[in-house]
């Protein structure tokens, strides 16, 4: 099992955001995670990524605690946030950060970018935050796909993409290794229906539905 979350709870200022959540993600699981705003989807993902100290329960990723062993955990996870952050580094520097920290080759990122019709070389000196929304998102997707991870987490990955960009993105997802797991946080199941084999529905900090498709 890749991710095991047992009875995890998390409160923010007295409000329970995760309420006794248990979940397992196995190799090859393609999950669509849905639910209304404030349901706890992003909090759960952030807990898996080791950003939050949970109040109770336990999480392990490949047998490692995400907070105590964050480097071992994050070696095998790729993450794309909902909105591209305003990173001030130039693209060249951002790629250097990814290359040195995660062992991903720049060439691989260039290759994945060109598959998404993103010409990185002509923008290489530009600060990341000066790219258009769609370009930023494409680059984040290219980085995530270049990193050979066993779990890919996408938080609304296509929010900034035009229809053609979305099409390319979904096309690339079909090329992902079958052993690799993906977790999509989405409000639009219809778009990724063909790409997922499991759907999880969350509400008020609980997993209310978890079924194979």
Partner 1 sequence: MKNLFLIAYLDVKESLRSKWFYVYSVVFGGLMALFFIAGVSDSVVMGFTGLSRMLLIFIQVTIIILPIFILITTVKSISGDRESNVLEYMLSFPVSLKDYYWGKMLGRFLTVFLPVFLPVFLALLLGVVFGLFKGGDLPWRMVFLYSSFLFSLSFVFLGLAFFLSTIVKSTDVALGSSFVVWIIMLAFIDIALMGLMLQNRISDEVIITIAMLNPIEVFRIGAISLFDPELTVIGPVAYYLLDTLGSNLLIIYAIVYPIVIGLILAYFGYIAFRKKDLL
- Closest approach of partner 1 to the CB of residue 167, in Å: 25
Q: Which stretch binds partner 1 (CB under 8 A): 17-25, 94-102, 159-167, 181-189?
A: 94-102
Number of chain positions touching partner 1 (CB under 8 A): 32
- Closest approach of partner 1 to the CB of residue 205, in Å: 16
Check residue 162 and report its DSSP letter. -
* CB crowding 43-75: b at 16 or more within 10 Å, else e: bbbbbbbbebebeebebbbbebebeebeeebbb
Beta carbon nearer to partner 1, 78 or 113: 78
Q: Is 71 in the site for partner 1 (CB under 8 A)?
A: yes
Tokens of 138: 């494409």
Residue 199 and residue 209 in contact, taking contact as beta carbons nearer than 8 Å? yes
Single out the residue of 74, 109, 131, 180 in contact with partner 1 (rule: CB under 8 A). Answer: 74
How far is Cα 20 from Cα 29, in angstroms, rounded to an integer?
A: 22
Q: Which stretch binds partner 1 (CB under 8 A): 18-26, 74-82, 157-165, 186-194?
A: 74-82
Cα distances (angstroms) measured from residue 39 to each of 11, 36, 66, 95? 13, 6, 22, 34
Q: Is 46 in the site for partner 1 (CB under 8 A)?
A: yes
CB under 8 Å to 122, separation ≥6 — which residues? none
Single out the residue of 15, 37, 53, 179 in contact with partner 1 (rule: CB under 8 A). Answer: 53
Tokens of 189: 């199941």
Q: Is 96 in the site for partner 1 (CB under 8 A)?
A: yes
The contact set with partner 1 (CB under 8 A) reads: 46, 49-53, 70-75, 77, 79, 81, 83-90, 93, 96-98, 100-102, 127, 140
């Amino acid at each position: 099992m890749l991710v095991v979350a047992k009875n995890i709870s998390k409160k923010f200022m007295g409000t329970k955001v995760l309420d006794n959540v248990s979940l397992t993600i196995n190799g090859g699981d393609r999950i669509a995670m849905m639910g209304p705003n404030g349901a706890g989807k992003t909090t759960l993902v952030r807990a898996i990524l080791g950003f939050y100290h949970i109040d109770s329960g336990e999480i392990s990723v490949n047998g490692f605690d995400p907070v105590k062993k964050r480097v071992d955990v994050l070696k095998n996870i790729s993450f794309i946030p909902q909105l591209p952050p305003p990173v001030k580094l130039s693209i060249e520097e951002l790629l250097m950060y990814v290359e040195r920290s995660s062992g991903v080759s720049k060439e691989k990122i260039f290759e994945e970018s060109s598959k998404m019709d993103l010409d990185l070389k002509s923008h290489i000196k530009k600060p990341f935050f000066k790219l258009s929304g769609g370009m930023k998102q494409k680059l984040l997707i290219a980085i995530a796909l270049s990193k050979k991870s066993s779990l890919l987490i996408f938080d609304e990955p296509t929010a900034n993409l035009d229809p053609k960009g979305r099409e390319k993105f979904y096309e690339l997802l079909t090329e992902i290794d079958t052993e690799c797991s993906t977790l999509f946080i989405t409000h639009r199941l219809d778009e990724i229906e063909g790409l997922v084999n499991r759907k999880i529905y969350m509400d008020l900090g609980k997993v209310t539905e978890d079924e194979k498709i």
